[in-house]
Structure 1
Amino acid sequence: MTEHTPKAVVLLSGGIDSAVCLQQALDEYEKVEAIHIDYGQQTESIERSNAEAQATAHNIDLHTVDYRTVFAEFAEGTIEDKEYDSNHMAEEGHSVGYVPQRNLHFLTSAAAVAEHHTDPGVELVLFHGAQYNDSTDYPDCRPAFIEAAQKAINRSTDQHTVTIETPLIDLDKPEVLTLGEKLGVDWSLTFSCYNDQSGTPCGECPACVERKEAFEKADIEDPVVAQ
């Protein structure tokens, strides 16, 4: 029986968490590819640019998925054309960045794309950047969801065994930064703002506030700062 080398596939958004996941995957696996999903987020242009730059820097394939039409049917969170500020952190009981069923869509689509680009029998490892702070506001960033999603994905295929890796799920944002620093992540190729579309963060939205506080707590200089 022929043995196949496992392949790691990273959901690469262009943000901090996925950049750290990518570096972790590169350290652990010989074969690594990435997937970037465009779901109509306001900052898609800079996010995609960062994802492409990270993939190019590590000489790996980047697959892109256009989810705009699907997500337009229930547009919320960061896919709406609106302004976010530090005084508006939550609405209707959840974070302003909440998008219904986002990670369920992302993981199942990533698994499908990975299968399409992989020979049968190869073990697939999906890296997903859920981290500890997200679990409070996002139910699809909690261990119970990840476990259920993995079971469902494996029930839907007999071509591959799929494992979902969440190396950051027990780490808060400063700890994620500390790990990324140790792994050698290039922070200049990450972006966290909900508002800006040009590459200069607004400094006021929840994502910018969280990023600033995390870099300060981790005692790391952020090369991407609000002007």
Structure 2
Amino acid sequence: MSDRSYPVLVLLSGGLDSSCLVHYHLLQGDKVTAIYFDYGQQNSEREFQSAKAISKYYDIQLSRETLGFKINNYEGEFYCRNALFVLAACSFLGESTSLISLGIHSGTPYYDSTSAFVTDTQTLLNGYFGGVIRVTTPFLDYTKVQIFDYALQEKMPVQLTYSCEIGEQEPCNLCRSCIDRRMLNEKSPGKD
């Protein structure tokens, strides 16, 4: 454990990336709470079930909040989603919360998965909060494969996470998230 400890609000979707954040921050000795945002996505109920399972496994508090509007999907990209999540999370911070943790990583073509996005978002938060609230992205330089390797190395409960965009109980195996997950599972130890 680290000598430093921060109150951290993890934006928890129930997927692999954000679930790894929970584990990571707890290893750092941080006081972790999580928030799940329902923005009208097709898979919201199934995602939330995974977020609850991860929260229970790690014994952290989870709240579910509805944004009240749907974020449009443009060929797999939800424009402004991460920015909206970070700004909305500011309304749910405890008095001592200083970090908002976001599970973005390298290897995607989206602006809101880049270091420029993190810098721009932090500039906005500094304008509102004078540097007291910070965005943290521990896996920003990791690829999806490296995050999966981290989860396996740390013996995380990967089976509790959910990544299908369709939202059925069983993954569809056709959407981008399912294809990524299948490739990761095929690379895991013990697979032929």
Same fold (TM over 0.5): yes
Partner of 1:132: 106
Q: How does 1:75-224 map to 2 (within 5 A)?
A: 75-77=71-73, 96-114=75-93, 118-119=94-95, 122=96, 124-134=98-108, 136=109, 138-157=110-129, 161-197=132-168, 199-219=169-189
- Pairs aligned (count): 188
Secondary structure of 1:8's match?
Answer: strand
Inter-CA distance 186–139: structure 2 relative to 1 (3 Å threshold): same
Inter-CA distance 172–30: structure 2 relative to 1 (3 Å threshold): closer
Show structure 2 runs of 5+ residues with no match. none
- Cα distance in 2 for partners of 1:170, 1:217 equals 20
Contact 2:6 2:98 in 1 (8 A): yes
Say if 2:69 is the partner of 1:70.
yes
Inter-CA distance 30–129: structure 2 relative to 1 (3 Å threshold): closer
- Cα distance in 2 for partners of 1:201, 1:45 equals 13
- Cα distance in 2 for partners of 1:111, 1:23 equals 22
Aligned residue identity for 2:104: A
Aligned residue identity for 2:178: C
Per-residue CA deviation, residues 65-119 of structure 1 (Å, 9 max, x unaligned), is 101x332xxx422xxxxxxxxxxxxxxxx6x2211210110011112211xxx22
Show structure 1 runs of 5+ residues with no match. 78-93, 222-227
- Cα distance in 1 for partners of 2:56, 2:25 equals 15
Deviating 4+ runs (over 4 angstroms): none
CA deviation after TM superposition for structure 1 residue 40, in Å: 0.8
Aligned residue identity for 1:128: L
Aligned residue identity for 2:92: V
CA deviation after TM superposition for structure 1 residue 161, in Å: 1.1
Secondary structure of 1:147's match?
Answer: helix
Contact 1:174 1:215 in 2 (8 A): no
CA deviation after TM superposition for structure 1 residue 19, in Å: 0.6
TM-score scaled to structure 1, two decimals? Answer: 0.76
Per-residue CA deviation, residues 23-48 of structure 1 (Å, 9 max, x unaligned), is 10111134110010001111111100
The alignment-based identity, stated in percent, is 27
Give the RMSD, CA atoms, in angstroms.
Answer: 2.0
TM-score scaled to structure 2, two decimals? Answer: 0.89
Contact 2:7 2:30 in 1 (8 A): yes
Inter-CA distance 171–220: structure 2 relative to 1 (3 Å threshold): farther
Larger radius of gyration: 1
Inter-CA distance 60–123: structure 2 relative to 1 (3 Å threshold): closer
Partner of 1:7: 7
Secondary structure of 1:145's match?
Answer: helix
CA deviation after TM superposition for structure 1 residue 123, in Å: 5.2
